[in-house]
Structure 1
Amino acid sequence: MAINCGIVGLPNVGKSTIFSALTSAPAEAANYPFCTINPNVGIVDVPDGRLSYLSEAFSPKKTIPAAVEFVDIAGLVKGASKGEGLGNQFLSHIREVGVIAQVVRCFENPDIIHVNNRIDPAGDIETINIELALADLETVEKKAEKAVRSARVQGKDAQKEAGIILGAVGKIKPLLLDGKAARLAELTDEEKASVYDCHLITMKPQMYVCNVDETAVNNTNEYVEIVKKIAEQEGAGVVVICGKFEAELADLETQEEKLAFLEEIGLKESGLTALARAAYHLLGLRTFFTAGEDECRAWTIHAGDTAPKAAGVIHSDFERGFIRAEVYSFDDFVKYGTEQKIREAGRLRQEGKDYVVADGDIIFFKFNV
């Protein structure tokens, strides 16, 4: 399952620093624009206290968390949609991700160059959003032109399809012209399907990542408040991160050292933990677990997936030969303590092919191939 999040923003806002801390894999980071040209890719575990609880209870040989792929995409600049700053190449990288995390500089530091020589979160966000919108505008205009040509030379079915496409474009285009996202358009299911193959960048879920300095990590600052206001208007999420702290945290070797560091600066969890979890949920993903003495594992599915679909995430044979699923909830495991007591309480269920897996289900699949 492609589970990836693209980290975007202007040059020198801290994208590569945050990426390196996220993945504990060094990305090239430097005090000049476009130091990242080819996207860096890293896999990040999604922290989940439920999996930790199960692991303590079962003491398995292996514990395997869910994961999200993060892609560090080079800094965009004004004119990127027209090819400025290698913009076309960078925009193509963004089209390939499932969700966008836009890093916004919310700190002052005269030693770190800002591409526009000023700290202006609203202006930075506007620059990025306009470039993404302009890139999508060109895409939907081409889609509309193709639909019109097709309707002229083909039959009624093509004309009907063209009408749906033009209806979708008619709702999306005014937003893009205004520098706003296509995802804000109120489209019918048919209209959404008609433009799906456009892979519009601004149709992707987006969140803002405020990169702050040490003074704002426990509180906020005027720049963060500006970003939160913009995000609220768009219905987007916000995660606040101090890239400097996260880099220092990533350098620590043991979990005990990391926890002590967080406690020292007054944080319950790292900003990157919050970012990984936010990306996971923005992608519409959910988690079910398998648990036993050999392995406790978090498996990733999409919200709304049925039991056979979830079984197929483990192995295609599980889906093909699905018989039933034995299911109990994580909350019931906490309440009763053991699978046997859950069974005695009548809380272990036998579910069939139509069962929609809930987040936090613990499942044993029965299958026959």
Structure 2
Amino acid sequence: MSLRCGIIGLPNVGKSTLFNALTIANVPTENYPFCTIDPHVGVVKLPDERLSSLKKVYNPNLVTNSTVEFTDIAGLVKGASKGEGLGNQFLGQIRQVNTIIHVVRCFKDENITHVTGNVDPISDVEIIETELILADIQILEKQYQKTEKLAKSGDKNNQIKFSLISSLLDHCNNGNNARTFTTNNEEIDIIGKLNLLTYKPILYVANVSESDIVNNEISDLNNKLSEYAKKGGNISISLCSKLEQEIAVLPEDEKKIYLKEYKLSDPGLNKLIKSAFNLLDLETFFTAGPKEVRSWTIKKGSTAPFAAGEIHTDFQRGFIKAEVIKYTDLIEHGSEKAVKEAGLAKLQGKEYIVCDGDCIYFHFNV
């Protein structure tokens, strides 16, 4: 499964700086709105230290990480849902991603203008979320009109859909996002197909000052955003995008020294990528051998045939069985042979639910 993240935020909050750090690309960062009118897309390796351990076991010709796709979406402004500031174009780009990374300015700097003239993270978040809700209301109103006619024909499925859309429209008209609407499993499928902006998982990124990182301080601005995220059942992390960009371009040996100097165990970017990964309820399985060690991304709860299909559709179509070795067993015993001798390699069928860290060899026939 491809993980696609859209980076959004008001102009001048540090979106493109963060994108530069993630992709080590030189996207221009200008001090005015719409410097990133065309979406910038970058593909980033999903960090996973387990690949290094598997490399030592198999000594493969190639090691391949799962990837995350990031799109730097130009700064949204008030009125975007009505098309202001090329809003329709930007909102369309957000619809194409799996999850939203909302960068929020939590630092003060007189040299960097703020679009509203005042640094207030909650106000900033509400400006954008209001535009997303308004855009969703437009979608729901069209669906309401469409399904109302179909529901009157007596079709039971359309009656259920119409009742759901009517309730969800009322919910959004009251200023609520679609994520906070209570649903059952059947309704989740219906809402998912509407591709509503406020139904997408969201990760708030507090872009803090370098001094906050150096002094290991949590500013009042950061605290406000963190509390706001919790109330909405969302996740927030903090990092300094300017500092992350500086770290990203360093050679690996210098990077370690830099991180140690700032008392950081890991780049904040790794935290961001892993948080987005967890937000979508994803997990990793591995395929491993002398030719290649590779990580693959799937939804938690996926069956073995579905996981096989991530590699190739033929694997899923002709699935016979999966030979599964737990990553921890492999590292503990040092080789596949030793794991098998210990009786820890298992043959699993079509109903097997893949677990995070499974090393799998698929048997298939087409």
1:198 alignment counterpart: 194
Query: Which has the larger displacement, 195-204 or 164-173?
Result: 164-173
Q: Which runs of 4+ in 1 moved over 3 A?
A: none
After superposition, the Cα gap between the structure-2 partners of 1:52 and 1:332, relative to the gap in structure 1 and judged at 3 Å, is: same
Matched, 1:6 2:3: no
1: CA distance between counterparts of 2:182 and 2:279?
Answer: 19
Could you tell me which of 296, 299, 304 is aligned with 2:296? 299
Check conservation: 2:325, 2:344, Cα contact below 8 A. yes
Structure 1 spans left out of the alignment, 5+ residues: none
Check conservation: 1:129, 1:180, Cα contact below 8 A. no
1:188 alignment counterpart: 184
1:56 alignment counterpart: 56
2: CA distance between counterparts of 1:94 and 1:303?
Answer: 24
Check conservation: 1:63, 1:295, Cα contact below 8 A. yes
2:343 alignment counterpart: 346
1:216 alignment counterpart: 212
Matched, 1:176 2:172: yes
Query: Which has the larger displacement, 313-322 or 270-279?
Result: 313-322
Q: CA deviation at 1:353?
A: 1.1
Query: Which has the larger displacement, 189-198 or 336-345?
Result: 189-198
Aligned-partner SS, 1:300: strand
1:277 alignment counterpart: 274
Matched, 1:256 2:265: no
Check conservation: 1:171, 1:187, Cα contact below 8 A. no
Check conservation: 1:167, 1:191, Cα contact below 8 A. no
Query: Which has the larger displacement, 319-328 or 347-356?
Result: 319-328
Q: Identity across aligned pairs (percent)? A: 47
What residue identity is the alignment partner of 2:36? T
Q: CA deviation at 1:78?
A: 1.0
Could you tell me which of 225, 228, 233 is aligned with 1:227? 225
1:18 alignment counterpart: 18
| Offset from partner CA, 1:100-125 (integer Å, 9 cap, x none) | 01000000111011100111001001
1: CA distance between counterparts of 2:115 and 2:10?
Answer: 7
2: CA distance between counterparts of 1:209 and 1:337?
Answer: 39
How high is the TM-score relative to the length of structure 1?
A: 0.95
2:330 alignment counterpart: 333
Check conservation: 2:2, 2:67, Cα contact below 8 A. no
2: CA distance between counterparts of 1:195 and 1:58?
Answer: 44
2:121 alignment counterpart: 121
Query: Which has the larger displacement, 354-363 or 319-328?
Result: 319-328
Equivalences for residues 315-326 of structure 1 within 5 A: 315-326=312-323
1:265 alignment counterpart: 262
What residue identity is the alignment partner of 1:9? G
2:87 alignment counterpart: 87
What residue identity is the alignment partner of 1:205? P
What residue identity is the alignment partner of 1:95? R
Matched, 1:46 2:53: no
How high is the TM-score relative to the length of structure 2?
A: 0.96
Structure 2 spans left out of the alignment, 5+ residues: none
Aligned-partner SS, 1:167: helix
Q: CA deviation at 1:139?
A: 0.9
Check conservation: 1:171, 1:186, Cα contact below 8 A. no
What residue identity is the alignment partner of 2:297? T
What residue identity is the alignment partner of 1:164? I
After superposition, the Cα gap between the structure-2 partners of 1:102 and 1:320, relative to the gap in structure 1 and judged at 3 Å, is: same
